[in-house]
Amino acid sequence: MYNMKKERSYWEGTHAANRRIMYLAAGHEQEDIVKKPHIGIANTFFEGSPGTGHLRSLAESVKKGIWMNGGMPMEFGVPATCGNIATGSDGLRYELVLRDIVAMSIEAVVRVHKLDGLVILASCDNVIAGAYLAALRVHIPCIVVTGGIMGAGSYCGQALVQADVDVAAIRGDSELLDIVQEHVCPSFGACPSMGTACTMQILGEALNLVLPGTSTIPAADNLKLRSCVRAGRFIVEQVRRGICPEDLMSREVLFNTVMLDLAIAGSTNAVLHLLAYSQELGLGLTLDDFDRIARRIKCLVGVVPSGRHTVIDLDRAGGVPAVMKRLETELYTGETTLLGNTWGEYLTGVQVPDDSIIHPLQAPFSDIAGIRILRGNLAEEGAVCRPTGVPGSMRAFSGRARVFDQEELAAEAVMRDEIQAGDVIVLRYEGPKGSPGMNELMKVTDRLIAKGMEQTVALITDGRFSGFNHGTIIGHVAPEAMAGGLIAFVEDGDIITYSIPEGILQLEVTEDVIAERKQRWKKPEPKIKSGVLALYGATCRPASEGAAMQNW
């Protein structure tokens, strides 16, 4: 519980004159400095992305709400990137690392400036994931305002999605590429498929970090501006009440969030982030919890790439509150919401207007969960997949291993037609320590889709995938190759068997052969030996614990 009155001493009296001088010089008034709660606005604005290019206007609306309710807003910048810019390059190694950089940057500003409250504006992928991590770390009242959802791309009545760009480019279809480039991203906001950005925006409501009903508002809708004013007013009230994010967090809240993630078939990256939040607060969420909950919660929402709808459609069908209403009988409804009532009380007034978009619990969109955890000798600590993106014929499979230690080599092999039906591509040394940074392996997945091989070839890796990706892909294999996991000892021609319904991932090689290979193995030198990637590789936790740069 935060005590604003206690913290006021930092700004009052003769000993604080030097601090007041700095704020006076920055244009603030003496009375505001001393008497009003100081509300930081951590803005991940960046002109290089449609997901963040509009956040300055949202920040102004947040400030308006803060002033209205007697607070003093102070905006500061936070590093942000656009994952799509890095697609197909080594830059993707930085994306998960950026989650921790964002959290650390916000933590440092809050600590130095003794802020009373905080609003974080964030929208995309690992940036918003880092915003949530920061909110749980700073120990002051804090909420996150999402950037909202991009309009759905279309051309002459034909729906367009981000993945169409890569497929058109790989196939050399210049006419389609021109059309997609011009029309696929028609507004600011997060791409409207169930990628990591939209997944994490949505999960923020269940985590009690985002005001209920606001995460999926389209960025172009003026309701987004009005919700920002409301958020500004709300954070001042939270400061006066002294309620911090950790006060509203529990294992049961995390379980509710996992249920929501499964119901929307969220990005597999969400598994990493939820594990990291649990580690931050010592709440003990594990992959076993995902596995246990997945046995009873199936996918209720068919958003691209699992289905044909967009997150805009989900918003029009009631958004997150409507999905939570569908899950009501399974949720821990006694948990407190960000608004102060219980989830049971909040959901009493929620209606679900469209069964075709948000399916009932008893008649799900898919007969399988949105996330599945696999285990076996090849993944003793677990592996993750999104079954709703896997062709039905490939949910259980046994095939020949084709082993690659770099993504580029695997992608080139696909393009040279060296990968055949029945193969299992094993792409290793792309995990948190091996990459370092746990690369998103979009080159290979996009090429498999472009070649029409997603129904005959599987891909298994200790790296991770974009939320846009679909096909027969299994990631987050732990222990990773760099840590001496069994994936490091797979050889070409080995038989690998998996069953998504049964949660099995197995290397069909005898223990004697594996032991002999381990004797010959020599741990590779780190790929990166300086800079933030090297620091991350040296300090990060395994994927099964969230892969954050912490010595938890």
For residues 305 and 132, what is the distance between their CA atoms, to the nearest angstrom? 25
Three-state SS across 416-443? CCCCCCCEEEEECCCCCCCCCCCCECHH
Using only C-alpha atoms, what is the Rg of the chain? 23
From the list 454, 402, 449, 448, the residue with the least C-alpha distance to 428 is 402
Starting at the edge strand found earlier in the chain, the sheet holding 38-43 runs: 72-77, 38-43, 117-122, 142-146
Distance CA 159, CA 148 (A): 20
CA distance 440 to 432: 11
* Of 49, 123, 435, 466, catalytic: 466
Q: Which long-range contacts (C-beta less than 8 Å, at least 24 apart) are formed by 213-217?
A: 213/319, 213/320, 213/321, 214/145, 214/146, 215/146, 215/319, 215/320, 216/148, 216/149, 216/311, 216/312, 216/314, 216/315, 216/319, 216/320, 217/148, 217/149, 217/315, 217/319
Strands 72-77 and 396-404: unpaired
Using an 8 Å Cβ cutoff, are 480 and 431 in contact? Answer: yes
The reply to whether 466 belongs to the active site is yes
Closest to 500 in 3D by CA, of 363, 394, 360, 362: 394
Torsion sign over Cα 537, 543, 548, 551: negative
Tokens of 423: 């193969």
Q: In 3D, which of 443, 427, 445 has the Cα closest to residue 389? A: 445
Q: Name the DSSP letter for residue 342.
A: B
Task: Give φ, ψ of 132 to 5 degrees.
Answer: -65, -40
Of 124, 161, 132, which is closest to residue 45 (Cα–Cα)?
124
Whether 521 and 488 have beta carbons less than 8 Å apart is answered as: yes
Contacts (Cβ under 8 Å, ≥6 apart) of 215? 146, 201, 202, 204, 205, 319, 320
Q: Which residues are the active-site residues? A: 466
